[in-house]
Structures are given as C-alpha cells and as structure tokens.
Amino acid sequence: MIKVEIKKEVEKIKQITVDGHADFAEHGSDIVCAGVSAIVFGLINSVDELDDEVQFDISTNEDETGHLTYRSLQSTSKEQLLLNAMLIALKTIEENYSNYITIEIREVN
C-alpha cells in the first residue's frame, strides 16, 4: 500500500512523504503506482520550474521502498497552490483505489 503523509502548519503544506507500493498489479503494470508517481513528480517538477522564489528539499530512497519526502523550506503562494493541486489529485486516486493508497493529513507546529 502507498502511504501519503501530509504535514501542515497553519493551513500551509510543509512536508509530503510518500512511502510504499500499491501492489495493485505486477511491477510495470501498476496503474496506481504510476498515477501517484506521475502526480508527485509532475507537481514537484512544476514547483521547481515555475517558482524561482521557493526553497525546498527532497529526499528519496533508490531501493525498493518507494520513499520520497518533500520539505518546504521557504514557501510561496505559488508553491502552496501546486502542492494543494497535488493533494487533490492524490485524493482522487484514493477515492477510487482506497485499498491501495491512504492519505493522512496532520497539523504540526
């Protein structure tokens, strides 16, 4: 199962962590994993390309765990718009494939 954890601080997304694999289908044919990956990487690339003022950090594991963490270091309204678009897209996948992806949103200080 893919586990997505969103950490928010005063309604701003501060961190997104994606862990695991959906196991919806065999490797290379898994539409849930492909969809989540396309959304996450597409939106992070959009933040990087479209917002010169934002500062963020990404960490990933190159092994089989399927781990990515995005940390917002200096947020902008453009970044928040794109991160919220990512969240909406991921929630759409969760609505249709809830046995394969879960999203947890936590408020942090």
Q: Which among 77, 74, 44 has a CA at the least distance from the CA of 60?
A: 44
Q: Does 67 qualify as catalytic in the annotation?
A: no
Catalytic choice (12, 21, 71, 78): 21
Quick count: other Cβ atoms within 10 Å of Cβ 100?
21
Catalytic choice (6, 13, 33, 40): 33
| Helices then strands, each counted (H, E), the chain | 2, 5
Local structure of residue 6 (DSSP, 8 states):
E
| Alpha-carbon span 10 to 107, nearest angstrom | 8
Q: Does 27 qualify as catalytic in the annotation?
A: no
Q: Which two tokens stand for residue 20?
A: 């695991």
Residue numbers annotated as active site: 21, 33
